[in-house]
Structure 1
Amino acid sequence: MRHIAIIGSGPAGYYSAEAAQKKFGDDVAVDIIDRLPVPFGLIRTGVAPDHQSIKAVSRRYEKTNLGDNVRFVGNVTVGEDVSVGELQELYDAVVLATGAPNDRVLDIPGSDLKGVIGSAAFVGWYNGHPDFKDLDPPLDARSVAVIGNGNVALDVARILAKTEDEFAGSDIVGHALDGLKQSKVEKITFLGRRGPHQIAMTPKELGELGQLERAIPVVDAEDFPDLGDDAMLEPGMRKSVTHLRNFQIDEDGAQHKPIEIVFDFFAMPVEIRGDGKVEKLIVERTELDKDLRSIGTGERYELDCQMVISCIGYRTPPIEGVPYEHGRGRFANTDGRILPGLYCVGWARRGPSGTIGTNKPDGFAIVDIIAEDIGSGSNKEGRKGLDRLFDARDVKAVTFRDWKKIEEAEIARARDGSPREKFTDIADMIAARD
């Protein structure tokens, strides 16, 4: 029998468990360990609440968990309730699938002012992550700067700009919806160091921005290269740039919706100023060198804003005793191998890149490597040893059956038209299980 522990119950963790089921059949026991009492990680607390079709992938993960050889072990903090070293003693393979839940630091003066928020915190707030339920973003802000030109930045702007009716069918949590209904936001500005041809925004998400009821996206025509240059782009990027071209300012500059979403390209934030809170952002104009890297021009200007949301990337949190690449924000590894018996997968392996689907081949690849390394397994205790350790420490793990009770309670408390109203407090989740 092979015993595998997977730390993290997001896409990378579940695809790895599915791969182990298919690779080893009944001759494997997989424990998926998560800090929260609820599974699915990024799908639950990272994917935008108005993208329910993407969240539906959790049904695939649920099928994986219904097999006898895969077990969800929630409400367990690795490093407190059990160490990585202890797991290595109990399991033939330990796979770190922790994702990259921490914001990359916005390293400019004034980034500690009130009103500067990382995207992980803001997304966690409107998605009901227990760590961020008390965030209280300053939604009385008239102007918001969103730093970044990727899909997370698009999510943030879209959520800020939507009307209450546009959230119908979503699972945005009640406290966020109530806050957004009182929002005073009139202008949202995307700041990107490079130009329209270098964005990391995908066509579908950009297209949604042009369909908002009360917001209009705006791009300055002077930021674009010649139209003929679009032909050099790969098809997906070409579609994205076509959306941007359709957002160009009308000749008279007239806007006809109460919220303006401005794309400010070739713009590098250099300082945030304010008396205890955000009041303005100092921005430096950039240009591209021959390698398409952005470099400052020395030309600076002020952007009045009362909230700054930084969407500049994520990092995997280090774990004591596990080799880590601080420059890349991921675990040090070679093709997923960290140390004998210790592996990583997904964003924890490659950094925050790719889509949810990218984690599927990644999960299957790491299981092939594990199979090569551990053979037919060993006489390690696996989950029996983990349960014995938990009994000794009075650790009360949450099972997948418990999670289904929590889910039923969330569905029962949903507002009209919403699939669920998530619990944002761990104690409430545990109470729903009991």
Structure 2
Amino acid sequence: MFRPCLRPSFSWASFRRYTSTEGPAPRVCVVGSGPAGFYTAQHLLNHGPPQLRVDLLERLPVPFGLVRFGVAPDHPEVKNVDHTFTKIAKNPRVQFYGNLHVGVDVKVRELRQLYDIVILSYGAAQDRKLGVPGEELSNVISARSFVGFYNGLPEDAALAMNLDVEDAAVIGIGNVALDVARVLLTPIDTLRQTDITDAALAQLSQSRIKRVFVIGRRGPLQVSFTIKELREMVNLEGCSAVFNPDDFRPFQSVAPLLKRPRKRLTELMLKTALTPPTEKQLKLWGPAPPKSWELRLLRSPLAILGSDSSVSGVQLGVNRLDGPNLTEDQAVVSTGEVETLECGLVLKSIGYKSVKVEEGIPFDEQRGVIPNVNGKVPDEPGLYCSGWLATGPKGVIVDTMNESYRVGAQILEDLKLDHISVQANRTEELRTLLDQRQVKVVNFVDWEKIDETEKLWGASKGKPREKITEVQSLISVVKKP
């Protein structure tokens, strides 16, 4: 674990204040209650001064961010991290303020006056654009919105899409791309046993999709998905995997030289592309698989074809890898060839970016991040950021955890070195301000009531939970006696 180092400016007086239970209690505000927010708070609580207090602010009435709204419904084991987050939230030094929209109900500049430390951890909520003709056609859907739809994100609860088509294209080769492809192809009876929303089940039960094409601009050594997601896709019930052997043969010689986990991932792709299906796969797929998915690499979308009422296909530019050696660093260049792939649904999965919370907060519009050094915002004393807002969207939850711990370590170092001015008598200033503005917040006890209600509703349907997908309905549960 990273430990703060001592610098020449260190004083024993500040160290004693830091480790003592006496003196002003550092007040910390974390904006965003997803993994980054919780892990940053956890590090501060575990390693900071014992009198430190943390307030977690969340725009929605429910906590946990991408753990609730981003993890695929058939991955319940990944969601178990919410047990850790619950323990953090129930720490007597933590307060949860849900249904509080920072930038609207309260400004960041006001929070900086109310708290000694403000950490912005509100994630990445905007899609990156393909920038090709036809991108605005109906049935061209953001993968982020589709994930939000089947996971019960209120803003995506009414997502409009047409699944009365046989072919779908997913543009992107990350884990989210494979998640949405898998959900489109998974047998409906399997999905019924998950916490997928009723609205998504209703649409998917009427789906006619038989083939999903997963399209990537780069080559086999540059895919962004991980072996776990690929293994699930090549062992999907009633659905065969189709790989073009010519895309993979050149990589047989370099696969043994790769580092883990890239080596294991590449070996699985080679096995899928170049060897017959295993007995397990043949049993899962069946003698005549009703569905299939195909990985199409070295293809760049040039245009989405169709009319205002429907998508008819995707025009793809064919690429090649440039460079003498087959490595992850090879450049991708166009061959000038063009292909047309027929499909009736397009899902864009080329990445997310964060948005500026309000004017006056440093923000890199191009990268979609707050400029920072180890989470510390330069020239803004007491202001920090963590998670995708600090690093850009990358990695899995464990990566977010490690990055958030580093931000927490930086904050604790700044506290020890008196780089943060800790003021007394800040205890209930935010609550007073919200009461004056008649902002009705949801606390963690309220969330536990919502949690219990969702689980009861889910149990009646044989599901882990039935998510409530409207903000007002969530609030109504809290208001019930």
TM-score, normalised relative to structure 1 = 0.96
Distance in 2, matches of 1:426 and 1:383, equals 29
Is structure 2 residue 407 aligned with structure 1 residue 366? yes
The one-letter amino acid paired with 1:237 is: R
Is structure 2 residue 265 aligned with structure 1 residue 233? no
Distance in 1, matches of 2:257 and 2:366, equals 32
Q: 1:140 aligns with which of 140, 144, 164?
A: 164
After superposition, the C-alpha distances for 1:45-75 in whole angstroms (9 at most, x for unaligned) are 0010110000000000100111111111100
After superposition, the C-alpha distances for 1:399-420 in whole angstroms (9 at most, x for unaligned) are 0000000001101111533110
Q: Which residue of 1 aligns with 2:346?
A: 308
Distance in 1, matches of 2:313 and 2:251, equals 33
Cα 1:380–1:141 shift into 2, 3 Å: farther
For 1:31-430, what aligned pairs fall within 5 Å after superposition? 31-224=55-248, 225-248=250-273, 256-276=288-308, 277-290=310-323, 291-320=329-358, 321-338=360-377, 339-375=380-416, 378-379=422-423, 381-414=425-458, 415-430=460-475
The secondary structure found in structure 2 opposite 1:113 is coil
Cα 1:198–1:429 shift into 2, 3 Å: same
Assess if the C-alpha contact under 8 Å between 2:150 and 2:200 holds in 1: yes
Cα 1:363–1:251 shift into 2, 3 Å: closer
How big is the shift at 1:136? 2.3
Distance in 2, matches of 1:46 and 1:409, equals 21
Distance in 2, matches of 1:411 and 1:25, equals 37
Distance in 2, matches of 1:382 and 1:307, equals 53
How big is the shift at 1:382? 4.0
Cα 1:383–1:314 shift into 2, 3 Å: farther
Distance in 2, matches of 1:183 and 1:131, equals 22
The secondary structure found in structure 2 opposite 1:49 is coil
The secondary structure found in structure 2 opposite 1:325 is coil
Assess if the C-alpha contact under 8 Å between 1:121 and 1:135 holds in 2: yes
The secondary structure found in structure 1 opposite 2:442 is coil
How big is the shift at 1:168? 4.8
Cα 1:382–1:287 shift into 2, 3 Å: farther
Assess if the C-alpha contact under 8 Å between 1:218 and 1:249 holds in 2: no
Q: Higher mean Cα deviation, 95-104 or 31-40?
A: 95-104
Q: Higher mean Cα deviation, 73-82 or 94-103?
A: 94-103
Moved over 3 A (4+): 249-252, 374-377, 380-383
The one-letter amino acid paired with 1:132 is: D
Which blocks of at least 5 consecutive residues in structure 1 are unaligned?
Answer: none
Q: Higher mean Cα deviation, 324-333 or 367-376?
A: 367-376
Distance in 2, matches of 1:241 and 1:169, equals 32
After superposition, the C-alpha distances for 1:278-314 in whole angstroms (9 at most, x for unaligned) are 1111000001122412111110011111111011011
After superposition, the C-alpha distances for 1:318-367 in whole angstroms (9 at most, x for unaligned) are 12221111222111112211121111001111111121011222222222
Assess if the C-alpha contact under 8 Å between 2:192 and 2:201 holds in 1: no
Assess if the C-alpha contact under 8 Å between 1:91 and 1:381 holds in 2: no
The one-letter amino acid paired with 1:72 is: F
Assess if the C-alpha contact under 8 Å between 2:252 and 2:270 holds in 1: no
Distance in 2, matches of 1:383 and 1:239, equals 52
The one-letter amino acid paired with 1:31 is: D
The one-letter amino acid paired with 1:259 is: K
The one-letter amino acid paired with 1:287 is: R
Distance in 2, matches of 1:38 and 1:381, equals 29
TM-score, normalised relative to structure 2 = 0.87
Distance in 2, matches of 1:101 and 1:236, equals 29
Assess if the C-alpha contact under 8 Å between 1:3 and 1:380 holds in 2: no
How big is the shift at 1:214? 1.9
Q: Higher mean Cα deviation, 189-198 or 225-234?
A: 225-234
How much is the aligned-residue C-alpha RMSD, in angstroms? 1.8
Which blocks of at least 5 consecutive residues in structure 2 are unaligned?
Answer: 1-24, 278-285, 324-328
The one-letter amino acid paired with 1:307 is: L
How big is the shift at 1:99? 1.2
The one-letter amino acid paired with 1:304 is: E
Assess if the C-alpha contact under 8 Å between 1:91 and 1:380 holds in 2: no
Distance in 2, matches of 1:394 and 1:105, equals 38
Distance in 2, matches of 1:188 and 1:198, equals 20
Distance in 2, matches of 1:251 and 1:93, equals 58
The one-letter amino acid paired with 2:221 is: H
Q: Which residue of 1 aligns with 2:280?
A: none
After superposition, the C-alpha distances for 1:75-116 in whole angstroms (9 at most, x for unaligned) are 000111000000000001100111112211121111011011
Distance in 2, matches of 1:85 and 1:428, equals 31
Distance in 1, matches of 2:26 and 2:157, equals 39
Distance in 1, matches of 2:234 and 2:409, equals 44
Assess if the C-alpha contact under 8 Å between 2:315 and 2:338 holds in 1: yes
The structure with the largest alpha-carbon Rg is 2
Assess if the C-alpha contact under 8 Å between 2:128 and 2:353 holds in 1: yes
Cα 1:107–1:255 shift into 2, 3 Å: farther
Distance in 1, matches of 2:159 and 2:150, equals 10
